[in-house]
């Protein structure tokens, strides 16, 4: 496979190839279990390494490399779950991006309407607006 393929496409194609020679689960359940396993491993590693906050300056050390690897495994497993559900991961992510953007823009509009300065609002305030937008 060309190395230049976008990552989600490449993951799906790699998994298709492996499935073509019988290296595959019979249905989505095996893939879903693998996602759960990888998520547990990522959670355990994040907890044990003291994951940094988004505001912390990036540090590329051994712990960061291990976290990057674990999260990569998790993403790869999610792509496989998509494949087993006959959904292309890239298209699913495109839809999720569009849905998030649409909802967040509605949160921003709702905040403006209510006189809430979005950059100064608490997470609780933003979550409440998000929940309200989701209901609509």
The continuous run of DSSP H or E covering 33 comes out as helix 28-49
Query: What is the C-alpha radius of gyration for the chain, rounded to an integer number of angstroms?
Result: 19
Q: At what angle do helices 89-113 and 62-84 cross, to 10 degrees?
A: 110
Query: What is the spatial distance between Cα 31 and Cα 79, in angstroms, rounded to a whole number?
Result: 9
Query: What is the spatial distance between Cα 99 and Cα 64, in angstroms, rounded to a whole number?
Result: 30
pLDDT digits (tens, 9 = 90+) for 43-91: 999 999 876 666 677 777 899 999 999 999 999 999 999 999 999 999 9
Query: What is the spatial distance between Cα 131 and Cα 106, in angstroms, rounded to a whole number?
Result: 11
Give the pLDDT band of residue 3 (cuts 50, 70, 90): confident
């Amino acid at each position: 496979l060309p190395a230049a393929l976008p990552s989600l496409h490449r993951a799906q194609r790699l998994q298709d190839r492996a499935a073509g020679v019988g290296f595959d689960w019979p249905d989505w359940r095996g893939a879903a279990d693998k996602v759960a396993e990888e998520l547990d491993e990522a959670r355990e590693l994040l907890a044990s390494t003291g994951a940094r906050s988004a505001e912390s300056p990036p540090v590329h050390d051994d712990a960061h490399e291990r976290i990057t690897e674990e999260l990569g495994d998790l993403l790869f497993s999610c792509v496989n779950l998509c494949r087993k559900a006959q959904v292309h991961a890239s298209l699913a992510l495109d839809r999720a991006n569009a849905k998030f953007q649409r909802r967040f823009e509605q949160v921003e509009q709702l905040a403006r309407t209510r006189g809430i300065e979005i950059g100064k609002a608490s997470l609780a305030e933003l979550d409440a607006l998000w929940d309200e937008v989701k209901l609509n």
